[in-house]
Structure 1
Amino acid sequence: MRILLVLAHPLEDSFAASVAKAAKETLEGRGHSVDLLDLYREGFESRMTGAERASYFAERYDAAEVAGWIERLQAADGLMLVVPQWWFNFPAILKGFFDRVFAPGVAFEHDPAGGRIIPRLTNIKLFWALTTTGSPWWVVHLYMGNPVRRLLKRGIAAFCSKDLRFRMVSLHDMDRATEAKRKRHIKRVRALLSRI
């Protein structure tokens, strides 16, 4: 399987970077091809351009500035995100990636009758999110209703692809996580990914 592994963290020595490294090693060890897309290191600009927005409902979306990233998404069989949750959402750079790359004609088509959008990312059969959050489990799930999972699964995954396997694996209470807890989490990630 060809997997696009998207890392969205500004610090090169972050725990997210360690998770991405472990994910890449584990997946490649299982024979998968992994394309690591480090949004910060690749200089991805999160702001949508005027040309992109002006063409959003036109016959053809102006993808000139993001064509390379679109090609990588379209070449993948699976998408895996490694991302922290900040303020119960993902970082702006990942939101910009969705806004600019998951565009009309790429991830979906507008329904001519004005109804639901039509999924176009039929190549994506696996969609995983490996996340961390500073809040305890009960705050994320019981108080906030797990908004990142809802956005990714019910919004992006459901509207852009069909029949994919979605999974989200989170380390909660990250701000107080001991080294031992972090190591256990990476071990868990490796164990789960070794089943793909």
Structure 2
Amino acid sequence: MHILLVLAHPLADSFAASVAAVAKATLERNGHSVDLLDLYQEDFDPRLSKAERQGYFDVPYDVSDVETSVARLRAADGLVLVFPQWWFNFPAILKGFFDRVFAPGVAFNHDSAGGRIVPRLTHIKIFWALTTTGSPWWVVRLYMGNPVKRLLKRGIAAFCAKDVRFRMMSLHDMDRVRPAQRAAHLAKVEKALARL
């Protein structure tokens, strides 16, 4: 399987970078090819341009400003996202990646009758999110209703791919966990990805 591994964290020595490194090594060790797209390292511009928004319903939609990222998504059989949750949401650069790359004609088609959008990422078989949060699990799940998981699973994955296997793994209370807990989480990620 060819995996697009998307990392969204500005610091090269972040825990997210460690998770991405473990994910890449594990996937490659198990025979998968991995394309690491480090959004910050590659200076991805998350801003949807005026022209992109004005042409959102054009057929074909113009993806020329993000064609390299689009080609990488189209080449993938699986998508693994690695990112921190900030304010119970995606980092802005990852949200911009969805806004600009998960575009009409790429991730979905507009239904001509005005109904539900039609998925186009039918080649994506797995859609995983490996995340961290600064909040305890109960705040994320019970108080906030796990908004990032809902957006990814019920929104992006469900609307853009068919029969995709979705999974989200999160390390909660990130700012207070001890090194042993971080190591245990990395081992858990490695074990889970080794089963793919």
- Provide the TM-score with structure 2 as the length reference: 0.99
Alignment of 1:105-120 (within 5 A): 105-120=105-120
Partner of 1:31: 31
Partner of 1:79: 79
Q: Report the Cα offset of residue 58 of structure 1.
A: 1.3
Q: Which runs of 5+ in 2 are unaligned?
A: none
Superposed CA deviations along residues 140-169 of structure 1, whole A, max 9, x for unmatched, are 000000000000000000000100100000
Q: Report the Cα offset of residue 50 of structure 1.
A: 1.2
In the TM superposition, structure 1's runs of 4+ consecutive aligned residues that sit over 2 Å from their partners are none
Partner of 2:63: 63
Q: Report the Cα offset of residue 74 of structure 1.
A: 0.3
Q: Percent identity at matched positions?
A: 72
Q: Report the Cα offset of residue 60 of structure 1.
A: 1.8
Q: Which runs of 5+ in 1 are unaligned?
A: none
Partner of 2:144: 144
Q: Report the Cα offset of residue 61 of structure 1.
A: 1.1
SS in 2 for 1:176: coil
SS in 2 for 1:123: coil
Partner amino acid for 1:154? R
Q: Report the Cα offset of residue 85 of structure 1.
A: 0.2
CA–CA separation in structure 1 for the residues paired with 2:162 and 2:190? 26
Q: Report the Cα offset of residue 66 of structure 1.
A: 0.1
Partner of 1:45: 45
Q: Report the Cα offset of residue 59 of structure 1.
A: 1.7
Partner of 1:92: 92
Computed over aligned residues only, the root mean square deviation of the Cα atoms, in angstroms, reads 0.4
Partner amino acid for 1:139? V
Partner amino acid for 2:35? D
CA–CA separation in structure 2 for the residues paired with 1:133 and 1:140? 8
How many aligned residue pairs are there?
A: 196
- Provide the TM-score with structure 1 as the length reference: 0.99
